[in-house]
Amino acid sequence: MSELASEPSAEGQTVEAPSATPAKPVLSEGKKAERRLGLLLCAPAAIVMLAVTGWPIIYSIWLSLQRYDLRFPDQRQFVGLDNYIAVLSDGYWWTAFAVTTGITIVSVAIELVLGMLLALIMHRTLVGRGLVRTVSLIPYGIVTVVAAFSWFYAWNTDTGWLTALFGAQAPLTDRFASLGIIVLAEVWKTTPFMALLLMAGLALVPDDLLKAASMDGASAWQRFTKVIVPVMKPAILVALLFRTLDAFRVFDNIFVLTKGANDTSSVSMQTYNNLIKGLNLGIGSTMSVLIFIAVAIIAFIFIKLFGAAAPGNDPGGRR
Partner 1 sequence: MAAIAVDTSKSGTKLLDRRGRWAVVDIVVVVYALIPVLWTLSLSFKTPEAQTDKYFWPTSWTWQNYKDIFTTSEFVRALINSIGIAIIATLIAVVLGTMAAYAIARLDFPGKQFLVGVSLLIAMFPQVSLVSPLFEMERNLGLFDTWLGLILPYITFALPLAIYTLSAFFREIPWELEKAAKMDGATPGQAFRRVIAPLAAPGVFTTAILVFIFCWNDFLFAISLTSTERSRTVPAALSFFTGASQFEAPVGTIKRRLFVARARLKEVLTGGGSNGGDDSPFDLPRFKKPKRELAAV
Site for partner 1, residues 67 to 106, rule: CB under 8 A? none
CA distance 81 to 265: 24
Q: Residue 106 or 279: which CB sits closer to partner 1?
A: 279
Q: Which helix (H) or strand (E) holds 191?
A: helix 175-202
Q: Residue 8 or 74: which CB sits closer to partner 1?
A: 74
SS3 66: strand
Point out which span in 5-13, 101-109, 171-179, 221-229 binds partner 1 (CB under 8 A).
Answer: 221-229
Among positions 50, 81, 88, 261, the unique one binding partner 1 when judged by CB under 8 A: 50
Point out which span in 7-15, 91-99, 173-181, 267-275 binds partner 1 (CB under 8 A).
Answer: 267-275
Site for partner 1, residues 225 to 264, rule: CB under 8 A: 228, 241-242, 245, 248-249, 251-252, 255-256
Q: Residue 177 or 290: which CB sits closer to partner 1?
A: 290
List Cβ neighbours of 33 (8 Å cut-off, separation of 6 or more).
none
Q: Residue 315 interacts with partner 1 (CB under 8 A)? A: no
Site for partner 1, residues 159 to 198, rule: CB under 8 A: 159-161, 163-164, 188, 192, 196
Phi first, then psi, for residue 77 (nearest 5°) are: -160, 160
Q: Are 102 and 152 in contact (CB under 8 A)?
A: no
Q: Residue 177 or 283: which CB sits closer to partner 1?
A: 283
Point out which span in 6-14, 74-82, 89-97, 289-297 binds partner 1 (CB under 8 A).
Answer: 289-297
Q: Residue 209 interacts with partner 1 (CB under 8 A)? A: no
Point out which span in 5-13, 81-89, 156-164, 169-177 binds partner 1 (CB under 8 A).
Answer: 156-164
CA distance 152 to 119: 28
CA distance 254 to 92: 16
Q: How many CB atoms lie within 10 A of CB 144?
A: 18
Q: How far is the CB of 99 from partner 1 (least distance, A)?
A: 15
Interaction mask 111-150, partner 1, x per CB under 8 A:
------xx-xx--xxxxxxxxxxxxxxxxxxxxxxxx-xx
Nearest Cα to 225, choosing from 216, 235, 213, 243?
Answer: 213
List Cβ neighbours of 75 (8 Å cut-off, separation of 6 or more).
67, 69
Among positions 96, 239, 275, 305, the unique one binding partner 1 when judged by CB under 8 A: 275
Q: Residue 10 or 215: which CB sits closer to partner 1?
A: 215
Q: How far is the CB of 80 from partner 1 (least distance, A)?
A: 18
CA distance 141 to 57: 30
Nearest Cα to 195, choosing from 85, 127, 110, 305?
Answer: 110
List Cβ neighbours of 104 (8 Å cut-off, separation of 6 or more).
244, 247, 248, 250
Q: Residue 91 or 130: which CB sits closer to partner 1?
A: 130
